[in-house]
């Protein structure tokens, strides 16, 4: 892997008395695409502004191309000129498409003849050459975002920042632009930091993904690993793990874990000691759904690592290309099936159904027990308030 081009160490960002961001160590390799994901208020925008050298952290350091950044120095402006950004709104000026793409080059003092040589290839790459002389205010939203992306990349930046650039587009336009832009990123190898609320965008675009929770990095790694093996319930919820079932480990042998849910026991893979409370995470697309056979057992752990549960269909939730079926097995299990498979199953609410999944598809997250509420009756009023505030924060 190449050397990091950008990173932070022991980073703390406070606004007044509130700590908005706290990151111990985080670095981005040259040429890779990083996606920053998380709910509103998780710290994505704050981290991006610090990495873009637009916001000085309260504590800690930022490194760019191997050198520490001094936010008080005028040299920081020179570093910012090696970066470019695209926002959710294209922010185009009242001029032609060509002149909008050329705007940054003019600010950098590039000559007129050289500007044409550099702008026209980018108009071709983003399929907007036919709009070259059209007023930027007279084009569609998807076309405007293509202009904005071309304007950033024509500068040949070392680092490109994308702040949810596709979120304001309709689905077909977003899919086409994502496909084109992914191809362009592969050709340019520009280091890219990309924030998004869309799980599919994060999975498709990122070489690595950062999940932020309450100003901290909850998980950082390859998107598929985070999707399959989330580190916490918050990460699991964000990446779409709809089956999050609390249970207790009752047996562990040779990487085979048996988990008791009260109504049933299932097998998973992992290394968790008996007696440990866990959250079993299972993606709905990993659940196989079938009509229940007459007289089938309500729950069983099958040989070969396949778990089979029988329950009652309680909800059917259609979407554009698939159907979510919720089955009550003593606890709800969500299965995702195609519309064709659902028509063949002919299941309705109230019908008995069999759900099955392999132990290798079940991911266990050990649960940390929350301490019981402290008894504050014998404490002085000030101490009582401090203890109760501490407990509420856990």
pLDDT at 126 over 60: yes
* Tens of pLDDT, residues 71-80: 999 889 999 9
Confidence of residue 386 (pLDDT cuts 50, 70, 90): very low
pLDDT at 325 over 90: yes
pLDDT of residue 305: 66
Confidence of residue 90 (pLDDT cuts 50, 70, 90): confident
pLDDT of residue 303: 46
* Tens of pLDDT, residues 174-230: 889 998 998 998 888 899 999 988 888 888 888 999 999 999 999 999 999 999 999
Confidence of residue 383 (pLDDT cuts 50, 70, 90): very low
Domains and CATH numbers, the chain: 4-228 (3.40.50.300), 242-366 (2.40.50.100)
pLDDT at 125 over 60: yes
Residue 275 CB neighbour total at 10 angstroms: 9
| DSSP class of 305 | G
pLDDT of residue 292: 85
pLDDT of residue 275: 93
Confidence of residue 294 (pLDDT cuts 50, 70, 90): very low
Instruction: Report residue 293 as tokens.
Output: 């056979």
* Tens of pLDDT, residues 227-271: 999 999 999 998 989 999 999 999 998 889 999 998 789 999 988
pLDDT of residue 2: 64
Dump the DSSP string for 94-113. Answer: SSBHHHHHHHHHHHTT--HH
120 φψ region: left (φ > 0), alpha (ψ -120 to 50), beta (else): alpha
pLDDT at 380 over 70: no
- Put simply, whether the predicted model's pTM sits higher than 0.85 gets the answer no
Q: At what angle do helices 112-125 and 141-153 cross, to 10 degrees?
A: 130
pLDDT of residue 394: 37
pLDDT at 387 over 80: no
Confidence of residue 304 (pLDDT cuts 50, 70, 90): low
Question: What is the CA 209 to chain-centroid distance, rounded?
Answer: 6
Q: Starting at the edge strand that comes first in sequence, how are the strands of the sheet with 59-64 ordered?
A: 18-29, 4-15, 59-64, 67-68
Residues whose CB is less than 8 angstroms from the CB of residue 178 and which lie 6 or more positions away in sequence, other chains included: 166, 201, 204, 205
Percent of the chain with pLDDT strictly greater than 90: 67
Confidence of residue 393 (pLDDT cuts 50, 70, 90): very low
For 60, the enclosing helix (H) or strand (E) is strand 59-64
User: pLDDT averaged over the chain?
Assistant: 87
Residues whose CB is less than 8 angstroms from the CB of residue 341 and which lie 6 or more positions away in sequence, other chains included: 289
pLDDT at 22 over 90: yes
pLDDT of residue 363: 94
* Tens of pLDDT, residues 329-376: 989 999 999 999 999 998 999 999 999 999 999 999 998 754 444 444
Q: Which of 162, 157, 169 is nearest to 44 (CA)?
A: 162
- Give 276: exposed, middle or buried? Use CB within 10 Å, 0-12, 13-18, 19+: middle
pLDDT at 88 over 90: no
d(CA 284, CA 80): 44
């Amino acid at each position: 892997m190449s050397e990091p081009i950008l990173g932070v160490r022991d980073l703390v960002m406070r606004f007044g008395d509130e700590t908005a961001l706290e990151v111990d160590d985080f670095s981005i390799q040259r040429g890779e695409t990083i996606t920053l994901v998380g709910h509103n208020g998780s710290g994505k925008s704050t981290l991006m502004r610090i990495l873009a050298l637009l916001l000085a952290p309260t504590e800690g350091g930022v490194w760019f191309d191997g050198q520490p950044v001094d936010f008080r120095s005028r040299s920081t402006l020179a570093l910012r000129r090696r970066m470019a950004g695209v926002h959710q709104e294209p922010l185009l000026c009242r001029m032609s498409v060509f002149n909008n793409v050329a705007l940054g080059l003019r600010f950098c003092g590039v000559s007129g003849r050289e500007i044409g040589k550099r702008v026209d290839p980018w108009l071709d790459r983003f399929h907007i050459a036919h709009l070259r002389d059209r007023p930027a205010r007279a084009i569609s939203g998807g076309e405007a975002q293509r202009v904005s992306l071309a304007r950033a990349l024509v500068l040949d930046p070392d680092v490109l920042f994308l702040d949810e650039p596709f979120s304001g587009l309709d689905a077909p336009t977003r899919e086409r632009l994502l496909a084109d832009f992914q191809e362009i990123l592969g050709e340019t190898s520009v280091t890219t930091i990309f924030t998004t609320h869309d799980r599919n965008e994060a999975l498709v675009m990122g070489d690595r993904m950062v999940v932020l929770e309450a100003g901290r990095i909850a998980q950082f790694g390859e998107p598929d690993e985070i999707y399959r093996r989330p580190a916490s319930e918050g990460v699991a919820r964000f990446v779409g793990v709809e089956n999050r079932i609390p249970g207790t480990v009752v047996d562990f042998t040779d990487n085979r874990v048996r988990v008791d849910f009260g109504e049933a026991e299932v097998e998973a893979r992992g290394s968790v000691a008996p007696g440990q409370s866990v959250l079993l995470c299972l993606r709905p697309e990993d659940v196989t759904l079938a009509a229940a056979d007459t007289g089938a057992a309500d729950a069983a752990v099958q040989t070969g690592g396949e778990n089979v549960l029988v329950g009652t269909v309680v909800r059917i939730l259609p979407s554009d290309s698939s159907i979510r079926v919720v089955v009550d097995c003593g606890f709800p299990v969500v299965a995702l099936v195609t519309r064709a498979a659902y028509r063949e199953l002919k299941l309705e609410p109230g019908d008995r159904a069999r759900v099955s999944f392999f132990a290798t598809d079940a991911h266990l997250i050990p649960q940390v027990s929350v301490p019981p509420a402290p008894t504050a009756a014998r404490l002085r009023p000030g101490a009582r308030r401090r203890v109760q505030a501490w407990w509420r924060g856990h």
